[in-house]
Amino acid sequence: MTPFDPIPRPLVGPRIMRQDWLSISFVHWAVDPALVAPLLPRGVRPDVLDGVTYVGLIPFQMSDAGFGRGPAVPYLGRFAETNVRLYSVDDEGHHGVVFRSLETSRLVAALGARLAFATPYTWARMRIARDGDVLTYTTRRRWPSPRGAGGTMRIRVGAPVVEPSAVEQFVTARFGLHTRWCGQTLWIPNHHEPWPLCTAIVEHLDDTLVAAAGLPGVVAAEPTSVVFSEGVRTAFGLPQRI
């Protein structure tokens, strides 16, 4: 098994997509790996740090999304997103994420991602508002069910993180995703530079997305880790069957 490595590796081969992830908050809860194991695709298992794994609730602004090395797609290449994600590893040593849901304010983007990569995108009303160091993210799902799932998160951003902790690296230094498509588990590699992180606190959170993703009760506890980033530029490579 290849140990977890927080250093980004160059992509090999063609790029299928590029995008910016901006104004992103990483809010995580430590959980027992047995809780999330049944929710992962066949062939992968929970990635573990010091005996626990993590559930992430992560809102951000998608920007300048485009295909290959082409230009950004007007209108459809910019939207708010919130994802619920888990942390995965396979026998080939790929340490990645598994998305349980991805809310987006663009219906066409949700439908396209579901068809192309089987990622569980949903269509939602979303808004990101910023007032100095405070960001407020709101989302309400339109489609599919459960309609109305969502909530409000208010984050206050603090000082830059000089040296990320092991947990902060574990939940942010991820360079690919596992997904299930046409009966096969795929690894889709991703590249981005290390996140420029800041400390952050959750001033308010009401959320039903995590429960809707199959993890009831998780957000009732205080988050284990909260950090913020202004963002990075990222690119995706060709899917690989595992």
As a whole number, mean pLDDT of residues 84-100 equals: 97
Give the separation between CA 53 and CA 37, rounded to whole angstroms.
10
Token pair, residue 71, equals 């230009």
Residues 6+ apart with CB under 8 A from 99: 83, 84, 85, 119, 120, 177, 179
Sign of CA dihedral 51, 55, 58, 62: positive
Count of domains forming the chain: 1
Q: If we measure between CA atoms, which residue out of 94, 153, 143 comes closest to residue 121?
A: 143
| CATH value at residue 69 | 2.40.400.10
In a domain, 6, yes or no: no
Q: What is the pLDDT of residue 110?
A: 76
Residues 6+ apart with CB under 8 A from 55: 28, 29, 31, 36, 84, 85, 86, 210, 215, 218
- In the chain, the percentage of residues whose pLDDT exceeds 90 is 79
Question: Is the model more confident about 175 or about 67?
Answer: 175
In a domain, 4, yes or no: no
In a domain, 85, yes or no: yes
> On the CB side of 69, how many CA atoms lie within 13 Å of its CA?
2
Sign of CA dihedral 73, 100, 116, 233: positive
Q: What is the pLDDT of residue 72?
A: 52
Categorize the per-residue pLDDT at 17 as very low, low, confident or very high, splitting at 50, 70 and 90: confident
Q: What is the pLDDT of residue 74?
A: 53
pTM above 0.85, yes or no: yes
Mean pLDDT of the chain: 92
Q: What is the pLDDT of residue 107?
A: 81
Token pair, residue 64, equals 């300048």
The residue range of the domain holding 155 is: 15-241
In a domain, 230, yes or no: yes
Q: What is the pLDDT of residue 69?
A: 65
